A and B are shown apart, each in its own frame.
Chain A
Amino acid sequence: MRIDLSKLKRKVGKAEITTGAVLPSDGSTERNKTGGWRAMRPVTDHAKCTTCSICWVYCPDASRFKDKDGKYDVVLDYCKGCGICADVCPVKCITMVAEAK
């Protein structure tokens, strides 16, 4: 590394901080599951999915993936239910369903 992160660490008050809050890139985005914020869940009708990938491109998180049949589906660990995938799907195969149901 060109930056020695260990040198940037110091204790202020009770917390350990780094200059400018920089952190090592150790996959914290993958580790921290953020799907719990969701109120609506996208449900994909695989019979209609044409695997065009548009939902995958537009998903602002990394919550669309190709399953073993080559069809797109949701990663519920990260999906916040924003509904962009359902909105952009050209064949309207994604339906947003309330989590409570």
Chain B
Amino acid sequence: MKHVMEASHAISDAVKAINPAVIAAYPITPQTHIVERLSEFAANGELKGQYIRAESEFGAISACLGASATGVRSYTSTSSQGLALMHEILFIIAGMRLPVLMTNVNRALSAPINIWNDHQDSIVERDTGWLQLYGETAQESYDLTVMQAKISEHKDVLLPSMVCLDGFTLSHVYEPVDIPEQAKVDAFLPGYTPTHAILDPQEPMTLGPIGFPSHYMEFRYDLHDAMKRSMKVIEDVYKEFSETFPVQIKNSRPERYYHIEEYRMSDAEVVLVAMGSVCGTIKDVIDSMREKGVKVGLLKVITYRPFPKKLIVDKLKGIKKVAVIEKAISMGSGGPLYQEIASALYEAKAHNAELRNFIVGLGGRDVTLDHVKDIIETTQSGKGDKEVWVF
């Protein structure tokens, strides 16, 4: 059924639909309406699961770890400083292969204090062993939330996942969203059946033991391998979801979900690469530039972890001018997405592209149509610096 709602509320509805046994969250800044709505559902008796109001994000994510270890679905949502406070536990959850589910509303990190949108908070967590999926719209945020449960809990994956959506631009903005019937979600998403870990006093097992130098590295390899192998399952779930839930609202999501979305790429000579809501602005600019004969396209990255390296290389191979537009920065080095794409192209001996990095929208700075037009023109001209900050 079609609703007009903010992405935060779409996520709350998605979480209610996937019915976690435990939701643990910290309700104060930088929390969003996601948890506010979920706590209302809990107070109204609309949630079947347990809602835990934690004393901090560290407590919330730890409660999710414990709950997941008992063999049930657990969920939390956070943002910026809250995610940073969860950092230590993110590694532990991934290492224990617990399929904890999280929504991260992307917001900037202090200092200076800033509550607005960029991707720095989740990008710095890319190495934790969590799957990361980035949504462009409220509809994608809803859909990815339903899909993340199926992906994370798949017996061949068993990895925690983070659906990331832009703070304010999506979280607080009203858009049309199609909310499918509960019965259809139930049919799509089975319950979580643990196959490797259950904390049960009746049948005790040891979880989270010490890993000596003789074994630690093999466990880390196994985690890395599981991340890479999850690519196929993610692809299958995207496909199944797209077939089960066809598009109801035009342009609210890709027709067929995939690790990436290609927009007017087939004959493109200039390609922009980006993640999240800025892709909406980019698509608008592409449409108007196309009318003037500029052959420009967009490669939107949805699956960021695992990184669809091969796929991105295949799509960018032969493209002469590529601009990576991102809302995060590795201080003293450059844009993280840019670096990964540059290294992937080099590895594949496909590094004939003129690759540029545009840092945009940090701390909620607007990314306007004119900004994107300038980015396209600069990239096309081949002049100027490799790394450009769009102020």
> A12 contacts B206, CB within 8 Å?
no
Annotate A12-56 by CB proximity to B: 1 below 8 A, 0 otherwise: 111101111111110010000000000000000000000000000
For the complex, give the distance between the alpha carbons of A101 and B140 in Å.
68
Q: What is the bound-complex CA distance between A23 and B200, given in angstroms? A: 13
> Nearest Cβ in chain A — how far from B261, in angstroms?
32
Which B residues are in CB contact (< 8 Å) with A2?
Answer: 71, 194, 198, 200, 203
B-contact bits for A60-96, CB 8 A (1 contact / 0 none): 0000000000000000000000000000000000000
Given A12-B218, A12-B222, A15-B214, answer yes or no on A20-B203 (Cβ-Cβ < 8 Å). no
Nearest residue, chain A, Cβ from B207: A22
**B-chain residues with CB within 8 Å of residue A3 when the two chains form the complex:** 194-198, 203, 205
How many A-B contacts at CB < 8 Å in the complex? 70
- C-alpha spacing A24/B206, complex, angstroms: 6
Q: Chain A residues near B203 (CB, 8 Å)?
A: 1-3
Q: Which residue on A lies nearest to B206, using beta carbons? A: A23
Q: Does A98 contact B (CB under 8 A)?
A: no
Q: Which of B195, B198, B205, B221 contacts A13 (CB 8 A)?
A: B221
Determine whether B219 belongs to the interface, using a CB cutoff of 8 Å to chain A.
Answer: yes
Judge whether A97 is part of the interface by a CB distance below 8 angstroms.
no
Q: In the assembly, what is the distance between CA of A18 and CA of B211, in Å? A: 12
**Which residues 184-204 in B have Cβ within 8 Å of A in the complex?**
194-198, 200, 203-204
B222 lies within 8 A of A24 (CB):
no
Query: Which residues of A are found within 8 Å of B221, using beta-carbon distances?
Result: 12-13
Complex Cα distance, B96 from A13, in Å, reads 19
The answer, yes or no, to whether B351 is at the interface (CB within 8 Å) is: no
What is the interface of chain A mostly: helix, strand, loop, or mixed?
A: mixed
Nearest-CB residue, chain A, relative to B223: A20
Is A23 within 8 A of B197, CB to CB? no
Q: B332 at the A/B interface (Cβ < 8 Å)?
A: no
What residues on A are CB-neighbors of B95 within 8 Å?
20-21
The answer to whether B206 and A20 have CB atoms under 8 Å apart is: no
B209 touches A17 (CB 8 A): no
Do B206 and A25 have beta carbons less than 8 Å apart? yes
- Is the CB–CB distance between B196 and A19 below 8 Å? yes
A57 at the interface (CB under 8 A from B): no
Q: A5 vs B194: C-alpha distance in the bound complex, in angstroms?
A: 12
Q: Are A22 and B206 in contact (CB under 8 A)?
A: yes
Q: How far is the CA of A48 from the CA of B203 in the complex (A)?
A: 41
Contacts of B204 in A (CB 8 A): 25
Which residue in chain B gives the minimum CB-CB distance to A2? B198
Distance to closest chain A CB from B202 (angstroms)? 9
User: Of residues B158, B208, B222, which shows the largest number of chain A Cβ atoms within 10 Å of its Cβ?
Assistant: B222
CA distance A19 to B198 in the complex (A): 12
Q: How far is B149's CA from A33's CA once the two chains are assembled, in angstroms?
A: 41
Residue among B203, B214, B218 facing the most chain A CB atoms (10 A cut-off):
B218
The chain B residue with its CB closest to the CB of A23 is: B206
Q: Determine if B98 is an interface residue (Cβ-Cβ < 8 Å).
A: yes
When distances are taken between beta carbons in the complex, the residues of chain A under 8 Å from B97 are 19-20
Q: Which B residues touch A19, using CB under 8 A?
A: 97, 158, 195-197, 222
**Residue ID in chain A nearest B94 by CB atoms:** A20
Nearest chain A CB to B131 CB, angstrom units: 15
Contact partners of B219 in chain A: CB under 8 A:
12, 17, 21
Q: Which of B95, B197, B205 has the most CB of A within 10 A?
A: B205
The answer to whether A20 touches B198 (Cβ under 8 A) is no
A sample of 16 cross-chain residue pairs with beta-carbon separation below 8 angstroms, ordered by A number, consists of: A7-B195, A12-B221, A13-B221, A19-B197, A20-B98, A20-B158, A21-B96, A21-B211, A22-B96, A22-B207, A23-B205, A23-B206, A23-B209, A25-B205, A28-B206, A28-B209
| B interface with A by C-beta (< 8 Å) | 71, 95-98, 158, 194-198, 200, 203-209, 211, 214-215, 217-219, 221-222
Q: Which 4 A-B pairs have the closest CB atoms?
A: A20-B97, A25-B204, A23-B206, A12-B218
Known: A12-B221, A17-B215, A19-B97. 18 other contacts (CB 8 A): A2-B203, A3-B198, A5-B205, A7-B195, A12-B218, A15-B215, A15-B218, A19-B158, A19-B197, A19-B222, A20-B95, A20-B97, A20-B98, A20-B196, A21-B208, A21-B211, A22-B197, A23-B206
